[in-house]
Structures are given as structure tokens and as C-alpha cells.
């Protein structure tokens, strides 16, 4: 088993690494987090936390604070491109009736809550630092790991957890080469002031090969999501991203979309991401280094479950580390509980994406509901209900 006075080093100060640090400190386990960035600059605009993520966060006492800092939802609307016909989809409250089915929040706000909570819980956090090398201890049941940090310091820890994201340097160094796969899709995002008269929930406008989302993330802000099919991995001039978004989406989408387009006036407001996924076969460990989150199972964002899977990883791993199980059983149980669920999300996300982007237009020339939109009306809720039958299962 691990030493009774356990010392855990977490590589990566993103969502999964910080949630793990908080969960371990709740168990009074010694934790150090190293983050290669010299300052906290969380990437991205907004984030979805569906009720399976809120259930996991509630187990460490953070769900209510996160919901209060964001925007709470129990349903959202799909719309045709001109916002003439809508389909409302309801989500279950897996975390109990006191928490919503979905919380949306800016990444900056979420990160601030997680960093503050980790520090208050007693986790040590070191910026501009990562792992340069590691050497296993004696190999005995209570062995440890000698770590050389990027600043030249050496430390001993009982366990290393790599939570360093989709482009994980730890994965590339210590696991067999993984497949980083381009999905054939790209996404543009922005956070903007909320329309003063808008009382809409999250709206996803569906187009042929495109989608445009308006997602409240607080009382006065929304998170725009603009996704589209792109046959090859491209790089664009960052100074022209706002123009690219306008050119692709303004002619297509109606409703409130034009009002938000008018407020995108600077490239600095927009981020562009080619959507990739990680196909990392088990095992998700190297010696006493265990991998979690996007480092081993980054999934396309079509179900908005990437953060949820990483958060669940952290809660499960903290539970196992805090037990009296030997190290081999910790790894075995972690893999048994997390690999099938992460693979299910990845597979289902890709399947739902094919349904979204293939099959023709959502518009009808005469203003009536199109066959494609009628199909969405008939199938969207059953597909969500089917998905959440699995997500409702204990982690």
C-alpha cells in the first residue's frame, strides 16, 4: 500500500488537477500541484457542467458555489437557423433537487473557485514548474518516486498524477505514443455581454454543417459557440478571427445571433480551436505515475462532458488513494471504473456529432418545420434520456 503519511504530486493545474488536490486535502493527504504556466491563464471561454459533474463536485462541497457564480439551467432549446422553430430538451437533476441539471460558467470564474479552494484546503501550488525526470524507488510495496523538477530541485513522493491536458508532455514521455486525432471539426468561442431583454435558456442553432450556440454563463454574460465542419487541420491569422466568424455565421443564423455578431468587433474576443481527441489505450499509468482527464481521454465537445469526465476521474482517484488499498489495486480499480465510462462518452459524442452535421438542412423554404427539424423534435429527448441512464450510474 502507499505510505500511511501519503505525499502526492499532481502535474497540471487545470480542472482535473485542482479538483483532485481539493479532494485529497479533504482526506488530509499531503498534496503538491506543479503547473508549467508562469501565471493562471485558463484557456477557453465558457464551460458546461452537467449534473453528473455537479454531483461529483458536490461530494467535495463546491457545487453550490460554482452554480452561484454561473448560470443554472434545466433545459435548452435547439433552433433552426432562422429561429423560427424550436425543440426544447430537458435534462435530469442527477445531483439532487437542490442543484440544477446544468451549470454554465466562464472558465476564468471556475478556475478562480478551484484555485482558491485548493489553496484554502492546504494544497501547495507551484507555478512555472513541471516534472523533468522521475526515478522509481526500491520497487517495494511502500516504495516512492524521486522527482527532479524543472527548476532542478528534487523531491520524493508516493505517487505522481499526470493531469496536464490534451497535449500532455507527461503522456508523450512516459506512455506509449498515443493517437491525437483531428475530428474534422473546428469551433470558435467568445464571451460577450448578455442581450438586455433576453430571458432565453441556452440556444443551439442547427445548420447544415454548422451550429451556433448562445449560452448564458452569468446574469450579464453569454458564451458564444460556433462550430463547423473543416476537412483539414487549419491555422488562421489570429488578427482576423472575428472576421472569419462573421463571414461564416452572420449570413446563416437569425434570432438573437445578429445582435451578438454586432458586438464582435475585435479578434481578441474570439478563440479558435481545431477539435482533437486522444486515443490512448490502457494502461493509463507508468510505474507510480497515473494519468487522468484530457491527458488520456480527451473527447470531442459535442456532449459537453469533457470537464465532467475529468472531474469524475479526480473524485474516484482521490477515493482510491485515500483507501488502504495497495498501489496495484488502486490502479486496477481506477482503470475498471474510468476507462469504460470515458470510452462510452467518446464513442457517443462522435455518434451524436455525425447525426448533427449529416443529413441536410434544418430550414424549410415555405416557413414550415423542415423534415430534419421534425426528426430532431422526435429524437432529441429520447437520445438525452438514453445518455443519462448511463451517466446516472454511480462512478
My answer on whether 318 and 364 are in the same domain is no
**By CB neighbour count within 10 A (0-12 exposed, 13-18 middle, 19+ buried), where does 226 fall?**
buried
Residue 334 CA to residue 46 CA, distance in Å, equals 29
Q: What is the CATH number of the domain that holds 21?
A: 3.50.50.60
The verdict on residue 91 lying in a domain is no
Looking at residue 195, what is its pLDDT?
Answer: 92
Determine the straight-line distance between the first and last CA of the chain, rounded to whole angstroms: 23
Looking at residue 44, what is its pLDDT?
Answer: 72
My answer on whether 66 and 172 are in the same domain is yes
Q: Which domain holds residue 254?
A: 180-276+357-391
Q: How many domains does the chain have?
A: 2
The verdict on residue 1 lying in a domain is no
The verdict on residue 336 lying in a domain is yes
**Diameter of the chain by CA atoms?**
75
The verdict on residue 88 lying in a domain is no
Looking at residue 38, what is its pLDDT?
Answer: 94
Residue 68 CA to residue 105 CA, distance in Å, equals 9
pLDDT in single tens digits along all 395 residues of the chain = 565 578 999 999 999 999 999 999 999 999 999 999 999 887 778 999 999 999 999 999 999 999 999 999 999 998 988 888 889 999 999 999 999 999 999 999 999 999 999 999 999 999 999 999 999 864 444 568 999 999 999 999 999 999 999 999 999 999 977 678 888 889 999 999 999 887 777 888 887 788 899 999 998 999 999 998 888 888 889 999 999 999 999 998 999 999 999 999 999 999 999 999 999 999 999 999 999 999 999 998 889 999 999 999 999 999 999 998 999 999 999 999 999 999 999 999 988 877 665 555 666 666 667 777 888 889 999 999 999 999 999 99
My answer on whether 107 and 252 are in the same domain is no
My answer on whether 134 and 50 are in the same domain is yes
Bond preceding residue 283 cis, omega within 30 of 0:
yes
Looking at residue 140, what is its pLDDT?
Answer: 41
Q: Residue 1: which H helix or E strand, with range?
A: none
The verdict on residue 85 lying in a domain is no
My answer on whether 186 and 319 are in the same domain is no
The verdict on residue 325 lying in a domain is yes
My answer on whether 243 and 316 are in the same domain is no
Say which residues have a Cβ less than 8 Å from residue 228's Cβ, sequence separation at least 6: 185, 186, 187, 209, 210, 211, 248
Go through the chain and tell me how many residues it has: 395
My answer on whether 165 and 186 are in the same domain is no
Q: What is the DSSP letter of 178?
A: P
Q: Residue 364: which H helix or E strand, with range?
A: none
Residue 374 CA to residue 35 CA, distance in Å, equals 48
Is residue 27 helix, strand or coil? coil
The verdict on residue 223 lying in a domain is yes
My answer on whether 66 and 171 are in the same domain is yes
- The rounded radius of gyration (Å) of the Cα atoms in the chain is 22
My answer on whether 128 and 250 are in the same domain is no
Residue 222 CA to residue 77 CA, distance in Å, equals 15
My answer on whether 184 and 68 are in the same domain is no
The verdict on residue 251 lying in a domain is yes
Looking at residue 26, what is its pLDDT?
Answer: 97
pTM for the model: 0.94
My answer on whether 335 and 364 are in the same domain is no
My answer on whether 343 and 333 are in the same domain is yes
Q: What is the CATH number of the domain that holds 201?
A: 3.30.9.30
Amino acid at each position: 500500500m502507499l505510505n500511511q503519511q501519503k505525499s502526492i504530486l499532481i502535474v497540471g493545474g487545470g480542472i482535473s488537477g485542482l479538483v483532485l488536490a481539493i479532494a485529497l486535502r479533504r482526506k488530509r493527504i499531503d498534496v503538491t500541484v506543479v503547473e508549467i504556466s508562469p501565471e493562471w491563464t485558463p484557456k477557453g471561454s465558457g464551460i458546461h457542467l452537467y449534473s453528473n459533474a455537479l454531483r461529483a463536485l458536490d461530494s467535495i462541497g463546491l457545487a453550490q458555489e460554482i452554480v452561484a457564480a454561473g448560470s443554472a439551467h434545466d433545459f435548452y432549446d435547439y433552433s433552426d437557423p432562422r429561429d423560427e422553430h424550436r425543440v426544447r430538451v430537458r435534462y435530469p437533476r442527477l445531483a439532487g433537487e437542490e442543484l440544477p441539471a446544468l451549470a454554465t460558467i466562464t472558465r476564468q470564474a471556475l478556475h478562480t473557485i478551484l484555485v482558491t479552494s485548493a489553496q484554502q484546503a492546504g494544497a501547495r501550488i507551484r507555478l512555472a514548474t513541471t516534472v523533468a525526470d522521475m526515478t522509481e524507488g526500491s520497487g517495494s510495496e511502500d516504495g516512492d518516486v524521486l522527482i527532479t523538477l524543472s527548476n532542478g530541485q528534487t523531491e520524493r513522493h508516493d505517487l505522481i498524477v499526470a493531469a496536464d491536458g490534451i497535449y500532455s508532455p507527461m503522456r508523450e514521455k512516459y506512455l506509449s505514443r498515443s493517437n491525437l486525432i483531428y475530428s474534422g471539426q473546428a469551433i470558435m468561442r467568445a464571451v460577450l455581454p448578455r442581450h438586455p431583454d433576453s430571458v432565453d435558456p441556452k440556444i443551439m442553432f442547427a445548420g447544415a454543417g454548422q451550429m451556433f450556440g448562445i449560452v448564458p454563463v452569468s446574469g450579464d454574460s453569454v458564451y458564444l459557440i460556433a462550430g463547423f465542419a473543416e476537412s483539414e487541420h487549419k491555422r488562421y491569422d489570429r488578427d482576423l478571427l472575428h472576421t472569419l466568424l462573421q463571414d461564416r455565421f452572420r449570413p446563416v443564423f437569425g434570432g438573437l445571433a445578429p445582435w451578438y455578431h454586432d458586438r464582435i468587433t475585435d479578434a481578441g474576443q474570439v478563440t479558435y480551436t481545431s477539435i482533437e481527441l486522444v486515443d490512448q489505450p490502457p494502461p493509463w499509468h507508468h510505474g507510480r505515475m497515473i494519468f487522468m482527464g484530457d491527458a488520456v481521454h480527451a473527447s470531442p465537445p459535442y456532449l459537453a462532458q469533457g470537464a465532467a469526465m475529468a472531474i469524475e476521474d479526480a473524485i474516484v482517484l482521490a477515493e482510491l488513494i485515500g483507501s488502504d488499498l495497495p498501489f496495484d489495486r488502486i490502479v486496477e480499480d481506477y482503470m475498471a471504473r474510468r476507462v469504460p465510462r470515458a470510452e462510452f462518452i467518446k464513442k457517443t459524442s462522435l455518434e451524436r456529432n455525425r447525426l448533427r452535421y449529416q443529413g441536410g438542412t434544418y430550414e424549410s423554404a415555405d416557413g414550415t418545420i423542415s423534415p430534419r427539424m421534425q426528426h430532431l423534435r422526435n429524437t432529441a429527448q429520447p437520445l438525452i434520456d438514453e445518455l443519462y441512464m448511463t451517466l446516472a450510474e454511480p462512478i
